[in-house]
Amino acid sequence: MKCSEFLNELTNYLDGALDDRTKSELEDHLAWCHNCYVVCDTTRKTIEIYRNSELYELPDDLRGRLRSAIMSKCSLQKKSGPQSV
Amino acid sequence: MSAIQPNVREPVSEELALVRAAKRGDDKAFEELVRRYDRNVFRIAQHITQNREDAEDVVQDAFLKAYGNLAQFQEQSKFYTWLVRIAVNEALMKLRRRRPERMVSLDEDIKTEDDSVPREVADWSPNPEQMYKQAELREILTRTIQGLPAGFRTVFVLRDVEGLSTEETAQALELSIPAVKSRLLRARLQLRERLSRYFQKRASADEANGASGDGDQ
């Protein structure tokens, strides 16, 4: 397997979406190709860092205000009839 | 290496019961749907618009549109996927309004092929998040993801941050599954490349002096 072939399958590999044979071919490649190993490992870390990052959390006070605004607009909308998307 | 596990969400049947109650006019049920998904919609909206006020507007507008069009929701997808589709469209409209000079679409920048070839292949520190103070780390992560084209950023956020499946992401963005996979791969690789400059192992004083480097934080 070439590095470019490994790279094409990287997303499927990280998502666990490969059949056993392709997965094993990829892992054989990872065992001897240090560059691909690093790319794979650091891509996984990239995903995990973003997933755990809690960027853009909605603060509780703003959350409450938004919900109140949404529900009161919904009531108004109910009285005035449906909108189109 | 083990596969990345998707984020777990509520069972669909419970969501569907709320949707059906809301369709019958039960506003408390709709409010419960708002409670369930407002944080997700806010995150997605802010990632796309990169503007907090716009993200607040998107949360309101998306739920309001969902409320007004509940009767048209055919229950062929999850309510959440349908809601995300509405929210993404609202967010893209906001982004286009702010950047009228650029045509913002989910298809932008798909022609360049070289942007995802790995160049940085130095290993990272074992605990890269701990190399920076929390505020610094947030700044790095925000700046890095904001540098991606909107089409890549959106796929990455839905798939990897919000944990939608590839199929759900394709439905929400009205893209094909191969298009989602291709954008996701390139988004992941571009983010990895850009983060590498912050998270690479730093040579410790011992290593610099030629000693064996255990603990190379």
Cβ-contact B90, B62 below 8 angstroms: yes
Here the ipTM equals: 0.89
Q: Which of B30, B63, B185 sits opposite A11 (nearest CB)?
A: B185
CATH 1.10.10.10 boundaries in chain B: 114-208
Which residues touch B21 (CB under 8 Å, ≥6 apart)?
B29
CA B135 to chain centre: 20
Mutual angle of helices A3-14 and A20-32, in 10-degree steps: 120
Quick: pLDDT tens for B183-202: 999 999 999 999 999 998 87
Taking the C-alpha atoms of A58, A62, A65 and A69 in order, what is their torsion angle to the nearest 10 degrees? Answer: -60
B186 contacts A43 by C-beta, under 8 angstroms: no
CB distance A44–B123 less than 8 Å? no
Least confident of A14-28, B2-16, B34-48, B99-113: B99-113
First to last CA, chain B: 22
Q: Of A14, A41, A83, which is closest to B68 when you measure between CB atoms?
A: A83
Q: How far is CA B133 from the centre of its chain?
A: 23
- CA torsion, ordered A54, B77, B153, B99, to nearest 10 deg: -110
Which residue type sits at B33? L
**How far apart (Å, rounded) are the C-alpha atoms in residues B217 and B213?**
10
Residues 21-40 of A with CB under 8 A from B: 30, 34-35, 38-40
**Cross-strand bridge partners of residue B144:** none
Q: Which of B13, B9, B2 is nearest to B163 (CA)?
A: B9
Supply the pTM of this predicted model: 0.85
Q: Using CA atoms, how far apart are residues B148 and B153, in angstroms rounded to an integer?
A: 6
Residue A76 at interface with chain B, using a CB cutoff of 8 Å: no
Q: Check pLDDT > 60 for residue B113.
A: no
Contacts of B35 in chain A (CB under 8 A): 67
> Are the beta carbons of A67 and B31 separated by less than 8 Å?
yes
Backbone angles phi, psi at B200, to 5 degrees: -60, 150
The predicted pLDDT at position B4 comes to 66
Amino acid in the structure at residue B81: T
Q: Which residues of B touch A45 (CB under 8 A)?
A: 124, 128, 199
Which chain A positions have a beta carbon within 8 Å of B145's beta carbon?
Answer: 50, 55
Tens-digit pLDDT profile for residues B80-101: 999 999 999 999 999 888 876 5
Pair B189, B118: CB distance under 8 Å = yes
CA distance A83 to chain B (A): 5
Q: Is B74 helix (H, G, I), strand (E, B) or coil?
A: coil
* B53-78 tens-digit pLDDT: 999 999 999 999 999 999 999 998 89
A52 chain-B contacts, CB cut-off 8 A: 129
* A16 touching chain B per CB within 8 A: yes
Nearest to B86 among A44, A74, A85 (CB): A85
- CATH 1.10.1740.10 range(s) for chain B read 12-98
pLDDT bucket at B6, cuts 50 / 70 / 90: low
Distance CA A26, CA B150 (A): 31
| Contact between B108 and B151 (Cβ < 8 Å) | yes
The CATH label, of 3.30.70.360, 3.40.50.620, 3.60.20.10, 1.10.10.10, for the domain at B114-208 is 1.10.10.10
What is the architecture, at CATH level 2, of domain B12-98?
Orthogonal Bundle (1.10)
What type of residue sits at position B71? A
Please give the residue that has the higher pLDDT: either A46 or B9: A46
How many H helices and E strands in chain A?
4, 0
CB nearest B35 (choices: A44, A67, A85): A67
Chain B residue numbers with beta carbons less than 8 Å from the beta carbon of A72 are none
* Sequence spans of domains, chain A: 1-31
Half-sphere exposure of B212 (CA within 13 A, CB side): 1
